Structure 1
Amino acid sequence: MSEARPGSGSGRSRRPGSTDVARLAGVSQKTVSRVLNGEPYVKEEVRLRVQAAMRELGYRRNDAARALNSGKTRRIGVVCLGTAFFGPSTQLVAIERALRSTGYSLTIVNTMEGDTGGVAGAVDHLLEQGVDGIILSEPIDEGDDQPIDLDIPVLTFGRFPGLSARPMITTGGDGVGAARSATEHLLGLGHRTVWHVAGPQRWWAARDRLEGWQQALADAGAPEPPVLEGDWLPASGYAAGRELAANDEVTAIFVANDDMTIGVLRALTEAGRAVPDDVSIVGFDDIPSAGFLTPPLTTIPQDFDVHVARGIENLVTEIESPTGDRSLSPEPTPLRLVIRHSTATKR
């Protein structure tokens, strides 16, 4: 008769522990702990054997007890805008996916754009619940100059002046560089200058794209037209597009996101300005429908999975093995331009 294992058979039995996993896998309890914590220097064959033993026993780590013993809650808080915009919502999915394999749970607090002190209040709420680290998913300028100083690791996707943490981890896509490449692409097609439909300037991402556009024009010695500011939504792109369509000097447009680009495209079509024959246009985000618009849109994917995974890795490392660094800012992830049929050489 085989030996009964904890958690198997009928009747009452104790919950299987890490020592049971070690016994079944034929390793030390310390090795099991290393596997649970995702520590390096564990042979892959050993790691797989331990994980197989966990599954066979139905082992579940007791994070509450672990928190009492280690002072860690195994919970990371996320502050995000309460919005359905493509960028923030897609980034949140990438955060959840990246955290899933780390053993940390996720607590989300939404703020609403325009709420004064919304980020500071959300951070306070997370600290009261007890989190080991905080992620700020879409930094915006709240305009209240309220500094936030934290003594736990913080990950932010993009710059966030006024925030300091121990450490402060900043990562994300290179919005400035991407906007430069979009503008340079249009200038390289022979257009005298490039017009810009910007996102709301309270968003740091929108400011980065504006900055990249300005840099490209300045470097090329091209005139800088007036900026038209939208709110990320198609209706604001349509309003800007109607204004641009009425100006015969407009032959190239860089739009700060694809949703506004949809509105610009409609306005140009209604005005009889053909894309790309009369006007070339570049968007930003590469939303799922971008390749199916008429014409298919030249745009810039954000590659959320790449920079989110890198940021989460750094955040978890700082939580579990603090380096003492005040600031960790790896180089922004380069973003590539996907060229489709909405841009063409100027006639």
Structure 2
Amino acid sequence: MADVAALAGVSSQTVSRVANNRSNVEEETRRRVLSAMRMLGYRPNTAARALVTGHFRALGLISFGLSSFGNARTVDAVTRAAQRAGYTVNMIAIESQTERAVHEAFDRLTMQAVDGIVLVEAQILDTPALRLPAGVPVVMADGDASHRHPMVDTDQARGARLVTRHLLDLGHETVWHVAGPEDSYAARRRTESWHATLKEAGASVPGVLFGDWSAASGYEAGRALARRPGVTAVFAANDQMALGVMRAMAEAGCRIPQDVSVAGFDDLDESAYLTPPLTTVRQNFDVVAERIVSLMIDQIESRGERSAAAYVVPELIVRQSTAAPPPR
């Protein structure tokens, strides 16, 4: 560190601030120090730094299934946000949401010396008897706001309301819903909001069809809906299921959007290139991730646990898969 300081013409304290990614360093000074580090092959001693600061600048992340688009995008965005903040991320993906699996994941991550743990869509926390290990800061992504841990999520209810209201405003008498899995927080919030929006509008509330987030489950739901007379608008809880619905409707001879309007949720990169392009709700995973990492760092640096719930506003993206209902 002394060699770096001498080469860069700064103090050892300034080198320490740069090595620890502190913000109170002028940009030109930071560049000079980083250049000196590269020239000298300097690498901060993380073990020594942890002894001084009490922090490892590492986060643990537990994801309960990466097959879901939302979970995968959240994990990716959190990893990138953590890296920008100067933290590494150690991830464990577990499919079985059991108390034992959660505690094992916590044990493995804490043995790797992490400063805090992010949980992505942990329905297991609904279990009243489950208590997370104390002493490790926790932030939840897409969790239940009633829990004591800070939580950040897209405003799922607002997104479902936007798309349901859009279809009603086009003139559809009601909107059918293909929901996600019943044990998913996001799916439940979207379904509850769809139901409430129809009730507020005085529209009839059809029975819910459940899928598993896959295009295949949307296809089966779409086949069932195509056999029902009077179905003119369908809101699928994610874009993959909406794709399946569109395929089933097309096979049944229903034109989209002339005969049936279809809308999704998530705004996959491919959704703008479907035939027709899909109306959907865009989630800003990067903003969600930035807030998760910010909440985590607040906890780590203050050594306190704050109860908070933050919701990121989604955006309705209107494309050509929705239109006014066909004339009677």
Q: Same fold (TM over 0.5)?
A: yes
| Residue 309 (structure 2) aligns with | 329
Counterpart amino acid of residue 63 in structure 2 = C
Q: How much does 1:235 deviate?
A: 1.4
Counterpart amino acid of residue 288 in structure 1 = D
1:207 aligns with 2:191: no
The runs of 5 or more residues in structure 2 that have no matched partner are none
| Residue 91 (structure 1) aligns with | 74
Matched residue count = 325
The counterpart of 1:196, out of the listed 177, 187, 191, is 177
Q: How much does 1:185 deviate?
A: 0.6
| Residue 12 (structure 1) aligns with | none
Distance 2:175 2:141 in 1: 28
Q: How much does 1:116 deviate?
A: 5.9
1:288 aligns with 2:263: no
Counterpart amino acid of residue 326 in structure 1 = R
Matches within 5 A, 1:10-49: 18-49=1-32
Distance 1:207 1:269 in 2: 28
Distance 1:160 1:240 in 2: 28
Counterpart amino acid of residue 75 in structure 1 = A
Matched-pair contact (CA < 8 Å) for 1:75–1:131: yes
Matched-pair contact (CA < 8 Å) for 2:282–2:316: yes
Stretch deviating more after TM superposition (40-49 or 211-220): 40-49
Distance 1:228 1:268 in 2: 15
Matched-pair contact (CA < 8 Å) for 1:83–1:89: yes
| Residue 60 (structure 2) aligns with | 77
Distance 1:147 1:163 in 2: 11
Matched-pair contact (CA < 8 Å) for 2:278–2:321: yes
- Deviation string, structure 1 residues 113-148 (Cα, Å, up to 9, x no partner): 555653343223323433210011223247643322
| Residue 317 (structure 1) aligns with | 298
Distance 1:224 1:111 in 2: 36
Identity %: 44
Matched-pair contact (CA < 8 Å) for 1:76–1:133: yes
Matched-pair contact (CA < 8 Å) for 1:79–1:137: yes
Q: How much does 1:299 deviate?
A: 0.9
The counterpart of 2:83, out of the listed 100, 112, 116, is 100
**Larger relative helix fraction:** 2
Q: How much does 1:111 deviate?
A: 0.9
| Residue 170 (structure 1) aligns with | 151
Matched-pair contact (CA < 8 Å) for 1:146–1:162: no
Distance 2:106 2:2 in 1: 38
Matched-pair contact (CA < 8 Å) for 2:78–2:292: no
1:152 aligns with 2:147: no
1:227 aligns with 2:211: no
Name the TM-score, length of structure 1 as normaliser.
0.87
Q: How much does 1:346 deviate?
A: 1.8
